[in-house]
Structure 1
Amino acid sequence: MHLLPAKESAMSHNRILLTLTLLLALLVPAQAWAHAQLLSTDPADNVVLESAPETLHLHFNEPVTPLAISLIASDGVATELLAATTGGETVTVTLPAAGYQGTQVLSWRVVSTDGHPIGGSLVFSIGTVTGASAAAANDPAVAIALWAGKAVLFIALFAGIGAAAFSTLAPLPLTAEKTAIVLAIIGLPAVALTLWLQGLDALGLPLLSSDPRILSTGFATSYGMTAAAAGLGFLLALVALCLPRGRWASGLAWLALVVAALSLALSGHASAASPQWLTRPAVFLHIAGIIFWIGALLPLWLLLAERGAAATLALAQFSRFIPLAVAAILVSGVTLAAIQLGWPGPHWLAPYGLILLAKLCLLALLFALALWNRIGLTAPALAGDAVASRRLRRSIALEALLVVIILGLVAGWRFTPPPRALAAVEAAIPAEPIWVHIMDAKTMAMVSITPGQAGPVALDIWLTDVEGVPITPLEVSVTLSEPDLGIEPLKRAAREEDGAWLVEGLTIPVSGTWRLELDIRASRFELIKLEEMVAMP
């Protein structure tokens, strides 16, 4: 066990380290994006083309980097096209010059700004539809291994590095010190393993693949910086735990906590969200608070069994600093949840939202235990009450169990896009057209409103008589109004094109039930008026 350092000097040194790291988190240069999603393709999926296109385009809601691009013909022969592909919001794939026919599959895999790879296939046919070989599906064993690896990494990071940080406030029991050292040692191969699995997942390769690109691809994603920083944090914690207690050990332990918290702010959904001047520091503070809290659980649990001076000192120090950690966790957590969830909507029920709901329920129980510990048990335990000490130990053990479950849930976030990203994609993809059929005793009109939602729209109008025979009026105009909202009529003239009447440049300002009126000048002496109510989402 180490001797206690001079507190004032150590605390001043720690404040400087924390301030510098917060500034670093604020200055990390990266544009603000959420989880990447495919918006559209050119050509469209399952289309039949007369001739082979020169290029294919994949349109995303944010810039992406291509990882694996291949064209698979109907005979199963795959042609690698990564070198002929450019990234960005639009991924452009230049196809081979050689002529080819039949159904083709473009198998693609890209990585988003938050470090999470996504993939899919674009099916198109040249001339005629034939049987095409399907692209290989992702190996579920990789996803399971990656989730398990992340869970182990999180436990080692929070409990191991957290215990090293807590050792600067109170001496660690020998068992806790050895456990922290073991966790720091386990963390190093866990970093390498998750980086390897990240490369496998990024390339869509099976678990036992030996492709030489795996590690370099994993490191090329934003998770590469997270892995490097986490590895440095484990090394710093390991050195701090092995040194005698003093200024150097304390400084390295707090630096390990800072680097570990920073590592998880360098990648992931929350860190990649906008605005990053807010989300990255919020992630940093959230992780730092959690590391301190989790790192103290095992030492306190062991010390309270002894009920000696060391237990009193550790509990007093924890009671002194934990309100700051909880405040950081709560404020940053609420901020990040609000940003990631976005406005209320059905996307809240996506897997990310359900995981968040489960996490919040467990956190509520965790905070309730912590509050009970502080208000009802800490003071009696410090006063030497054996019953309070036993209850406090049981409560701490339950806290540790809840923490393990929460970390397992958080590891599952790796595979789920946040609701805000889903909402952004839904907003970016135009709604399906709304079709409106209007008729009277002599005339029928079929009206298409594209897209089928409030905002800029275009109207296509086809006119026939009741027998379905097209008619050719002199002119057509469209009027839209929403009396319930006090919106006066918006009138636009239509122009004829290829047998249809078109209205462009019309904006429906708000959602609601709109009155659609058609004025059809059938002749100099006949004006036909058709009317229908249309619900615009």
Structure 2
Amino acid sequence: MWFLRLPIGMIALLAIMLMSAVLAPQAVSAHASLVEATPEAGAKLEISPAVVSVTFNEQLDSGLFYIKVYDHSGAEVTKRKAIMNKDQMGIKLDVPKLEEGVYLISYHVISADGHPVGGSYPITVGNPPQEDLLDVPSAHTGHDHSAGPLTTKGLLQYASRGLWFLMLLALTGWAFWLRLVKTQGEEAQKSLSAWTLNLQRGHIVALLLLIFTHIEDLLGGGGVDEIWQLLSATNIGISWVLLLILSFLGFVLLGRVAWLDVCWALALLAVKSFSGHAASFSPLWATIGLDFIHLGAAACWVGGLILLYVKWRHNKTGLGSYMQKFSKFALISILVLTVSGILSVLLFLPNLRYLTYTTWGILLLVKVGVVVLVAVLGFVIRLFLRKKQVNQSIVWVKLDLSLMVIIVVLVGLLTYMAPIPSNAPLQWHQMGEKVHVSVDITPKIPGNNNFVAKVWLPEKSGQPKQVLLILHNKDDEQIAPISIPLTMYTDNKEEESYGFAKYSYKSEGPYLPFIGNWELEMRVMDTEDNETVYTKDFIVY
């Protein structure tokens, strides 16, 4: 086991790189997703809209947001500010009367858990000349943070999150344990003081790196003028400021009074618990409280394990007695982490099947597997300690330390991933020998949706005698099938005809009433009473 001989810093770096590599094919994950835009993307309007609005699937931070409308030359059509809805799930902007032309709508919000979400899309008013194209500066083009391949910038963001989370738990746990364990000898005290200072330095560097790699996305192209708005009015900005203040105060306060050290460490963890997933789920008292307990237990385990490593490397005096005490606390910490983690997951997810739907869920299952290994290692270490074989247990402690780094990095990544996937419009096309069909469901959310169904039949077959669109809830068989009333309409959109004639139908309404697994059934009957049936499974999150 050559890796057990690596320095702890190298283990941490390798773990961060490994976790980032695993995530490389994935999209950078935002936590709020757009469910409705008015006017919708690509809309062609006869008259100017009075209001532009965007609505999301969860609450937003009210501190920093905007909607901007640009004309074809790249100039803003109004300097008015967008306002947020009472439910804090959408923003709207009153716009002046727009002349005929092509316009770009750009929006930017921050979700309640501190993640930026933005995008841009065009609309057309009237019948502008064909050459009247958008000429928008690059600073105003789309900045959608919720999709796309992971870039170098995204990789740095994930790495900075994992590193900061590791340093936060290490420093706060270290502060706890220095007050739980008495250190004898001047040299030993100097060594621990040096480690305390280095952990503080490492934490503040990691925090500054975290801020540096994320602040541009949170501003959303708003410019330097809005930095103050970000830091003073948004939850994520205020948490950064408080963390920086506490971090600098730590250089003055830490190591002087025992109760003050504990309060300082708890304050750091409390600030962290008020941001992230806990802030976007309800009830807040439960989600934030569980997050705080989870962080405290993790810090106790991480800090104690690092202190054990330091004592083994530099001062083996009292190592056996310390290991006995740490073993008990580690067992309690793992139990608290398990219980608080399970309760948090039950609050975050509608049901446990969601664990298989996202990278967040898969990584959480990986974390659970690593925690099981840690529990097994703890049992092995306790067996050695009962036999007074401290030296033989060290190799297992080093393996425990390696797994600790991996778990902390995993948690650092999980903190910034969406537990629940974003809904995306359903675009389904099914080819058959004699019948082709397609169905679009937009935006495919619980509640009101637009349904567009299309049928392609051979020219000689004529118009379908009957077209049915039926939804089946696969989670509850007692729910009767939901029939969607379809209205035929003239579809001028140019599409591949496959040598067939196209017939288009549409509907709008709350025919997807709630989340879950659904089966879409489309039945097409031609003039000769030949019926073709196609089905498609999908999930509404």
Structure 2 length normalisation: TM-score? 0.68
Asked whether the equivalents of residues 69 and 77 of structure 2 are also in contact (C-alpha less than 8 Å), the reply is yes
- Aligned residue number for residue 35 of structure 2: 39
- Aligned residue number for residue 287 of structure 1: 295
Asked whether the equivalents of residues 81 and 93 of structure 1 are also in contact (C-alpha less than 8 Å), the reply is no
Asked whether the equivalents of residues 51 and 95 of structure 2 are also in contact (C-alpha less than 8 Å), the reply is yes
**CA deviation digits over 1:248-277, x for unaligned, max 9?**
x32122223322322221010244223323
Asked whether the equivalents of residues 437 and 446 of structure 1 are also in contact (C-alpha less than 8 Å), the reply is no
Structure 1 length normalisation: TM-score? 0.69
1:73 to 64, 71, 74: 71
Asked whether the equivalents of residues 61 and 89 of structure 1 are also in contact (C-alpha less than 8 Å), the reply is yes
Aligned AA (1:378): L
Asked whether the equivalents of residues 80 and 94 of structure 2 are also in contact (C-alpha less than 8 Å), the reply is no
For residues 178 and 513 of structure 2, what CA distance do their matches in structure 1 show? 63
- Aligned residue number for residue 393 of structure 2: 392
Q: Secondary structure at the match of 1:124?
A: strand
* Residue 460, structure 1, aligned to residue 486, structure 2: yes
Aligned AA (1:38): L
1:242 to 255, 263, 272: 255
- Alpha carbons of 1:450 and 1:124: their partners in 2 closer, same or farther (altered >3 Å)? farther
Of 500-509 and 46-55, the range deviating more from structure 2: 500-509
Of 229-238 and 171-180, the range deviating more from structure 2: 229-238
Asked whether the equivalents of residues 59 and 91 of structure 1 are also in contact (C-alpha less than 8 Å), the reply is yes
Unaligned runs of 5+ in 1: 1-33, 244-248, 471-499, 519-527
Q: Secondary structure at the match of 2:120?
A: strand
* Residue 227, structure 1, aligned to residue 223, structure 2: no
Q: Secondary structure at the match of 2:93?
A: strand
Unaligned runs of 5+ in 2: 1-29, 146-150, 426-442, 474-479, 490-500
2:384 to 331, 353, 377: 377
* Residue 354, structure 1, aligned to residue 378, structure 2: no
Asked whether the equivalents of residues 464 and 524 of structure 2 are also in contact (C-alpha less than 8 Å), the reply is no
Asked whether the equivalents of residues 515 and 533 of structure 1 are also in contact (C-alpha less than 8 Å), the reply is yes
Q: Secondary structure at the match of 1:417?
A: coil
Asked whether the equivalents of residues 301 and 333 of structure 2 are also in contact (C-alpha less than 8 Å), the reply is yes
For residues 535 and 444 of structure 1, what CA distance do their matches in structure 2 show? 18
1:63 to 49, 59, 64: 59
For 1:423-502, what aligned pairs fall within 5 Å after superposition? 427-428=445-446, 430=449, 432-433=451-452, 444-447=464-467, 449=469, 458-460=484-486
For residues 306 and 397 of structure 2, what CA distance do their matches in structure 1 show? 8
2:178 to 167, 182, 187: 167
Q: Which has the larger radius of gyration?
A: 1
Of 114-123 and 424-433, the range deviating more from structure 2: 424-433
2:219 to 187, 200, 203: 203
- Alpha carbons of 1:404 and 1:77: their partners in 2 closer, same or farther (altered >3 Å)? farther
* Residue 147, structure 1, aligned to residue 158, structure 2: yes
For residues 317 and 334 of structure 2, what CA distance do their matches in structure 1 show? 26
- Alpha carbons of 1:54 and 1:338: their partners in 2 closer, same or farther (altered >3 Å)? same
CA drift of 1:335 comes to 2.0
Asked whether the equivalents of residues 225 and 263 of structure 1 are also in contact (C-alpha less than 8 Å), the reply is no
* Residue 318, structure 1, aligned to residue 317, structure 2: no
- Aligned residue number for residue 83 of structure 1: 81
For residues 515 and 448 of structure 1, what CA distance do their matches in structure 2 show? 6
Asked whether the equivalents of residues 265 and 280 of structure 1 are also in contact (C-alpha less than 8 Å), the reply is yes
- Aligned residue number for residue 340 of structure 2: 332
Asked whether the equivalents of residues 161 and 295 of structure 1 are also in contact (C-alpha less than 8 Å), the reply is yes
Aligned AA (2:446): A
Q: Secondary structure at the match of 1:212?
A: helix
Asked whether the equivalents of residues 468 and 524 of structure 2 are also in contact (C-alpha less than 8 Å), the reply is no
Report the count of equivalent residues. 448
For residues 271 and 324 of structure 1, what CA distance do their matches in structure 2 show? 26
**CA deviation digits over 1:192-248, x for unaligned, max 9?**
554455432212249xx7x132253144322234334534654565456432xxxxx
For residues 513 and 153 of structure 1, what CA distance do their matches in structure 2 show? 45
**CA deviation digits over 1:428-486, x for unaligned, max 9?**
36374566899xx99953435488877765413669xxxx9x9xxxxxxxxxxxxxxxx
Q: Report the RMSD for the aligned CA atoms in angstroms.
A: 4.5
For residues 513 and 308 of structure 2, what CA distance do their matches in structure 1 show? 63
Asked whether the equivalents of residues 199 and 215 of structure 1 are also in contact (C-alpha less than 8 Å), the reply is no
- Alpha carbons of 1:315 and 1:422: their partners in 2 closer, same or farther (altered >3 Å)? farther
For residues 406 and 458 of structure 1, what CA distance do their matches in structure 2 show? 47
For residues 337 and 508 of structure 1, what CA distance do their matches in structure 2 show? 24
Q: Secondary structure at the match of 1:167?
A: helix
CA drift of 1:61 comes to 1.5
CA drift of 1:166 comes to 0.5
